[in-house]
Amino acid sequence: MRRDVFQAIADPTRRAIITMIALQAMTPNALAEHFDTTRQAVSKHLKILIECELVKQEHQGREIYYQLELEKMKDIDNWLEQFRKIWEARFNQLDSVLSTLNPK
């Protein structure tokens, strides 16, 4: 089953994992220390993030480090950009209305 990136970021634990590995690559054990859950639960979240291509694995000796896949994050940013433009236009309209109501 192919998962959607938006399914991956819908979960708060996965968003927290993304935030942590955006700063530095981490092992599942290191990630699990930050949550009140098991390492296996964190591994399931990582599996979903890998399936969505938001996270990639890097083997260093016996350890596996997980790091953010920046190109896939750009896809999310590009999708959000359309909404940013709408919000900015609405804020500009609001500024215009407020300046006519309260001229200085």
DSSP labels, 2-58:
PPPHHHHHHSHHHHHHHHHHHHS-B-HHHHHTTSSS-HHHHHHHHHHHHHTTSEEEE
Nearest one of 59, 51, 54 to 15, comparing CA atoms: 54
Domains in the chain, number: 1
The pLDDT assigned to 2 comes to: 66
* Over residues 66-80, mean pLDDT: 89
* Over residues 76-84, mean pLDDT: 89
Average pLDDT, the chain: 90
Residue range of the domain that includes 67: 5-101
* Over residues 96-104, mean pLDDT: 81
Verdict on whether the full-model pTM lies above 0.85: no
Q: Looking at the predicted structure, is the pLDDT value of residue 96 above 90?
A: no
Residues 103 and 64: their CA atoms lie apart, in Å, by: 61
The pLDDT assigned to 92 comes to: 87
CATH number of the structural domain spanning residue 19: 1.10.10.10
The bridge status of strand 55-60 relative to strand 63-68 is: antiparallel
The pLDDT assigned to 64 comes to: 95
Residues 30 and 63: their CA atoms lie apart, in Å, by: 11
* Residue 10: Cβ within 10 Å count: 10
The pLDDT assigned to 1 comes to: 58
